[in-house]
Amino acid sequence: MEFLTVAQFDKRKIADALVVPMWQGPKAPGFAVECKPVHALIQPLITAGDFKGKEGEFAVLYPKGLPEKRIILIGLGEQDKATTEQLRRAYGSLVKGTMGKKIKTLNLLLPEISFLSEDSLVRGVAEGILLANYIFDRHKKDTNKTLLEKVTLIDHGKKVLDIANKALVICEGVYDVRDLVNENADVVTPHYLAQCAKKIGADYPAIKVTVLTKNQIEKEKMGLLLAVNRGSAHDPAFIIMHYKGNPQVHDNTVIIGKGITYDTGGLNLKATQMEIMKCDMAGAAVTMATILTACRLGLPVNLTGVIPATENAIDANSYKVGDIYTSFSGKTVEIGNTDAEGRLILADAVSYACQRLKPTRLIDFATLTGGVDIALGNEATGLMSNDDALADALIRAGSETFERVWRLPLYDEYKEALKSDIADLKNVAGRSASTIRAAIFIKQFIQDDIPWAHFDIASTAFLSEAVRYHPKYATGVGVRLMIDFLEHL
């Protein structure tokens, strides 16, 4: 059964509810779409003042004479302030309201907004519904929540359906990230990530996948990735995914994702929050899902994904604080803290990408520092870049998708704290500007002429509570931003 369909009002099929959008007004709410047969049924509720049309407001009526069992009123907020994000939030609230009511099918009247493009309007509605319509309950025997199974857009045709279905493809990429990040770390090992990538390559011939095993990683002399892996019972994997959507050009966007499938902190054992450290491979999941989604959409771009994958576990063979390890690039690194492992595996990955993959631009995603949460909280992802044009394009994409980013500086003076007396670099420099200095560490392994951007998603990839249309735990942040960015290359 298709999740999204269209139908004319008088030819629609029976659904569990008919959804009617309402604007918040100075005296009373107003209908956001013309549908006189329904308006008369709703008017008594409005006259009584029991529904105001505030953003996210939700009310259920049980009318007679309609095919649907229910009419659901949703508040959109003030009409003159309507934005795509406002629609996402309103329709996300709709889905959260239906989950506990065993509602599986909706007939949906879309609002009419003259100053929003049809694409922006439909995308906001569809994304709000789709992003909220997610539950991770595969390990739970009983659940009182029900996902929507079918949504019919009333009085609209193929163009609107195409826009909504594109949003569905993108949100399926978001689901892929959420599923990977939410799953048990004992399941999502480096080998499991490699198998997921291989399956994508088998299912989508346009995506070519190569996985370097531990022996191959040793031959490549990726000493930092190997060091982090030393305490783990699971071998590392170095995953490379190529998507050629436009083979006639040499442009190649390389996306690198941190793939720490579980992070104990190593010998610098974490004192808190180890229970959420299965999320430390969120950057890897974003990388994999972005390439898959671009392929599903048939985007005319060339992408290469790189995922250095390992656990940062602890045993008698764990890599040691104070020791020095040699990177793929040949630079040596003094270890000041084994819990600053993400930048180490990224250093080997970006060096490999710069030397072997001919990137036009390089973008990495990593749940890298706790400092980014202190600086920005969970409303913005930290962005650092050596290229203004690349940073501006990513900021624009983040604003458009409401996966907002905030650029932090990469002043040369911050590099001083990474100097070592006994190696080329050390991997930590204290708490001050920790997010920036982590990025500057990675920057030392980027060729100067390659535009590079670093996303620290530590505070936005995994939430302790549900926020708007994002569920508790994995959010899938990054996929929608990257698809929008790639579409505007």
Active site residues: 270, 343
Q: Residues of 47-56 as b/e, b for ≥16 C-beta within 10 angstroms?
A: eeeebebbbb
State the Cα–Cα distance between residues 77 and 310, nearest whole angstrom. Answer: 46
State the Cα–Cα distance between residues 24 and 36, nearest whole angstrom. Answer: 19
Question: Cα dihedral sign for 317, 321, 323, 324?
Answer: positive
Output DSSP code: residue 467.
B
State the Cα–Cα distance between residues 256 and 450, nearest whole angstrom. Answer: 14
3-state SS class at 378: helix
Q: Which residue has the tokens 């007939």?
A: 107
Measuring CA to CA, how many Å separate 357 from each of 212, 214, 250, 254, 450? 15, 20, 11, 8, 12
Neighbour tally for 97: CB within 10 Å? 18
Specify the amino acid at residue 451. P
Are the C-beta atoms of 229 and 260 separated by less than 8 Å? no
Dihedral angle computed from the Cα positions of residues 241, 176, 260 and 216, in that order, rounded to the nearest 10 degrees = -30
State the Cα–Cα distance between residues 88 and 52, nearest whole angstrom. Answer: 19
Specify the amino acid at residue 334. E
Longest dimension (CA), the chain: 81
Are the C-beta atoms of 104 and 70 separated by less than 8 Å? no
Q: Alpha helix locations (H) across 232-381?
A: 282-297, 342-356, 371-376
